Amino acid sequence: MKTIKLLTVLLMCGWLVSCNKGNSTTPSSAMSASVNGSGSISFSASFSNNSGLITMQGSGSSYTIQLFMRLSGSGGTYTLGDPSTGYYAMVSDNFGTKYSTSASSIGQAVVTAGSSGGLYNGTFYFTATETSPTAGGGTVNVSSGQFSNM
């Protein structure tokens, strides 16, 4: 009897830990953007929700894009690179170079609540400055960004 109770407790703990990860991908999550005028690139998309801080990520063959925002229930307009809120965007290329928005960056995400419960749709654009391997070494322009069911 003690063994059954112990197994039940362990299964419940495992279930709670697995549910608390907050990472999610819906079958219809999508992200696309133009990077440095390359034309529209489609990304394999996923998102996570860590205590209300939403991380949206799109991964493609040449670039990975991440958006970070604390979203309200109905969405809104968010400045990417706002140091007072911590909302920013990052892009990295397949050579290991990383770029991030900052207070001096131009960038915005316009987010609307999707038709599916808790999911968002929207558009975004930003200019990011190189942070690694050389801080301030170059910039990347991401335009015509779109995401859905994130």
Per-residue pLDDT at 23: 52
Per-residue pLDDT at 58: 92
Look at residue 42 and tell me if it is in a domain.
yes
Note the pLDDT tens digit of each residue in 15-42.
Answer: 333 333 455 556 688 999 999 999 899 9
Look at residue 12 and tell me if it is in a domain.
no
- Collapsing DSSP to helix, strand or coil, 58 comes out as strand
Look at residue 5 and tell me if it is in a domain.
no
**Rounded to whole angstroms, how far apart are CA atoms 116 and 24?**
14
Per-residue pLDDT at 13: 32
CB-based contacts of 139-142 (< 8 A; 24+ apart in sequence): 139/99, 140/35, 140/36, 140/91, 140/99, 141/35, 141/36, 141/37, 142/33, 142/34, 142/35, 142/65, 142/89, 142/91
Give me the chain's average pLDDT, please.
Answer: 81
Per-residue pLDDT at 24: 55
Per-residue pLDDT at 136: 84
- 6, 40, 77, 112 from 102: Cα distances, Å: 50, 24, 17, 24
Look at residue 53 and tell me if it is in a domain.
yes
Look at residue 15 and tell me if it is in a domain.
no
Mean predicted confidence (pLDDT) in 51-69 = 90
Mean predicted confidence (pLDDT) in 73-88 = 88
pTM equals: 0.78
Look at residue 38 and tell me if it is in a domain.
yes
Report how many domains make up the chain. 1
The percentage of the chain sitting over the pLDDT mark of 70, rounded to a whole number, equals: 79
Look at residue 34 and tell me if it is in a domain.
yes
Looking at the predicted structure, is the pLDDT value of residue 2 above 50?
no
Q: Are strands 75-79 and 107-113 parallel, antiparallel or unpaired?
A: antiparallel
Full domain range(s) for residue 137: 23-148
Per-residue pLDDT at 50: 82
Q: Is 92 left (phi over 0), alpha (psi -120 to 50) or beta?
A: beta
Per-residue pLDDT at 116: 64
Look at residue 17 and tell me if it is in a domain.
no
**Rounded to whole angstroms, how far apart are CA atoms 43 and 35?**
12
